[in-house]
Amino acid sequence: PKMEKDYSESVKALLPEVEQLANSGQLRAALDKLHALEKKTRAAADLWSTTQLLERMVEVCGTASEWVMLEQEVAAMSKKHGQLKQAIAKMVQKAMTFVDNVADEQPRIELIEALRTVTEGKIHVEVERARLTRMRVEIYEKHGQVTEACDTLQEIQVETYGSMDRREKTDFILEQMRLCLAKRDFIRMAIISHKINPKYFQREGTEDLKLRFYELMIQYDLHEENFLEVCRHYNQVYTTPCIKEDAARWPAVLQNIILYLVLSPFDNAQSDMLHRFKQDHNLEKLELCAQLVKSFTTVELTRWPAVESIYGPEFRSTDVFSAQTDDGNKRWMALRDRVIEHNVRVIAAYYTRATIPRLTELLDLGADDVEAFLSKAVVSGTIYARVDRPAGVVSFAKPREGEEQLNAWASDVSKLLGLVEKTTHLIAKEEIVNKIARAI
């Protein structure tokens, strides 16, 4: 609304008088004087004057540590007819500065809740409400009330706040993700994670947020046992300048990338990533990891007992394969499965037919386990195999369709005709050379 009258001079004259009354302990008298002038400034739509008066009301109560009075004043002023939105925002901001000054916890909680009530449903103080909610959540968490903290923070949809700075918004969403993980609400955590665009982390000054985001995503995907995604998250951490340039931090990250990469089920994306990391020069500095990558990228059999003896002593002490945790033991057995699956692919590449006893010898497994791994590889589409149980033979040669067979025959006939033509030419050439030699 347009300002009808300027009360700035009256406000400037009143403030010293109010301060004197407040210092002498006459808080009610000071507030009454402020109320009387505030009514006039509000009616005249004088923003500056109204703001000064509301802020001074908050200051009078806050300085005297009259927290109940402060709550009442803020609530009353925000409900006044025709109250200016900007003035309410400034008043709430001023009141927020006194929250940390409240010595006892219960009055502090009451003040925060009172301010949250005032800001509820008002778009012009949405940022203040979000910050107050964060304060309340910290108190919940301090008392171990994770569920209440998580539920309270979920009420705030900061992604829709246009007035909030993007960094603060991202930080708020990360806090929501963290609390969802603490509450073990993995589905909601996954939904909230989509509210953050990873491209934002390409900006300068966002490295701390980027590392926090990917740390949370790693925890989520480890719970889901989605090891390829875990590897991708670690790769994002690895490519962050502050990590890549720190010789004390990147080896652990790169080691985790390799370990989770070999734990991932074989597919085109996993194979491509493994070959790309094989070219990374830093991998040469991690000898065991380099050997592990080489064994998975070379078309040669890798015997599990050998893997266990070479890599077990060091890798079993890492968080990934820790012998002290159930997850570590579970991942170690998953690594055994990946080694066997690699060996199955190698055998399929070199053999067209093999007997079950020979496969049990090559894979260090029993006959039933061999069949189980072959079945899994066939279902996933990584190899072609057919098992003849009565004969105890596995065939890896894929039968050709009629068109493919005809094409192969046509190609063979063409090659044969080419060889015949070349041979005929060489014979004719030899005869001509001999005739010339005789003539001479």
Question: Quick one: average pLDDT of 400-412?
Answer: 81
pLDDT digits (tens, 9 = 90+) for 311-335: 888 888 888 888 888 989 999 999 9
Task: List all residues 6 or more positions away from 292 whose beta carbon is below 8 Å from its beta carbon.
Answer: 258, 259, 262, 311
CB distance 172 to 158 below 8 Å:
yes
% the chain with pLDDT above 70: 100
- 320: three-class secondary structure by DSSP: coil
Write down the number of H helices and E strands in the chain: 21, 3
pLDDT digits (tens, 9 = 90+) for 52-82: 989 899 888 888 888 888 889 889 988 888 8
Q: What confidence tier does 15 reach under pLDDT thresholds 50, 70, 90?
A: confident
Q: What confidence tier does 244 reach under pLDDT thresholds 50, 70, 90?
A: confident
pLDDT digits (tens, 9 = 90+) for 85-99: 899 999 999 999 888
On the 0-12 / 13-18 / 19+ scale of CB atoms within 10 A, 337 is: middle
The better pLDDT of the pair 405, 331 is held by: 331
- Distance in Å from the first CA to the final CA of the chain: 120
pLDDT digits (tens, 9 = 90+) for 187-221: 999 999 999 999 999 888 889 999 999 999 999 99
Transcribe 152-176 into DSSP letters.
HHHT--GGG-SSS-HHHHHHHHHHH
CA distance 366 to 345: 18
Question: SS3 for 42-64, per residue?
Answer: HHCCCHHHHHHHHHHHHHHHHHC
Transcribe 269-319 into DSSP letters.
HHHHHHHHHHT-GGGGGSHHHHHHHHHHHSSS---HHHHHHHHHHHHTTSS
Transcribe 199-233 into DSSP letters.
GGGGSTT-HHHHHHHHHHHHHHHHHTT-HHHHHHH
pLDDT digits (tens, 9 = 90+) for 356-367: 899 888 888 888
% the chain with pLDDT above 90: 32
pTM above 0.75, yes or no: yes
pLDDT digits (tens, 9 = 90+) for 413-437: 989 999 999 999 999 999 999 999 8
CA distance 55 to 88: 9
Query: Mean pLDDT score of the chain, rounded to an integer?
Result: 89
- Which long-range contacts (C-beta less than 8 Å, at least 24 apart) are formed by 387-391? 387/356
Q: What confidence tier does 412 reach under pLDDT thresholds 50, 70, 90?
A: confident
